[in-house]
Amino acid sequence: MNIAFFYALTGVGLFTLGVYALIVYTHLLRKILAINVMGSGVFLVLVALAARTQNAPDPVPHAMVITGIVVAISATALALALMLRLRDASNHIELPDESVE
């Protein structure tokens, strides 16, 4: 087991943690953070796998990660803005239960 593989495994672990937190917690800020943790996990996998050979690391996944970070930032910004609007409109920061329609 080399070091890149170890990082990749950590990435998968982060992703799983993120999914777990996304499902379990009700507070929206926690959900948004969970999504971010998931995203970091995926990026870690990409970067780690780029260094799989002995030579210079493969640049393409790095480009993908940068694109992914840009997307993640805008998504987070939108999510936070929505969360604030939701708090103003309904006075709580959890999603309403489905059954109470």
Partner 1 sequence: MLVILPLSGAMLCFLFPQRVKFLGLLTAFAIAASVIGLLLQVLDQGVQRYSVGGWGAPLGIEFYVDGLSLLMLLVTGLVGLAISVYSSSYFKADKAKHFWPLWMLLWAALNALFLSADIFNLYVTLELMGLAAVALVALAGGADALAGAMRYLLVSLLGSLCYLLGVALLYHNFGSVDIEILAQRLESSPAVWAAIGLITAGLLLKTALFPLHFWLPPAHASAPAPVSALLSALVVKASFYILLRLWLEVFPVASASMEQSLGQLLGLLGMAAVLWGGVQALRQTRLKLLVAYSTVAQIGYLFLAFPLSNIIGWKAASYMLLSHALAKTAMFLAAGNIMFYGGHDRIVDLDQVAQRLPLTLSAFGLAGISLMGLPPSGGFIAKWLLLEAAIRSGQWWWGTMLIVGGLLTAAYVFKVIGYAFTSSDLSHEPRAVPKRMEWIALTMALLAIALGLLVPMPLALIEIGSPFGESMP
Chain residues in the site for partner 1 (CB under 8 A) = 15, 18-19, 22, 28, 31-32, 35, 38-39, 41-42, 45-46, 49, 52, 58, 60-61, 64, 67-68, 71, 74-75, 78-79, 82-83, 85-86, 89-90, 95-96, 98, 101
**Nearest approach, Cβ of 56 to partner 1 (angstroms)?**
15
Residue showing tokens 């499902």: 23
Q: Least separation, in Å, of the C-beta of 95 and partner 1? A: 6
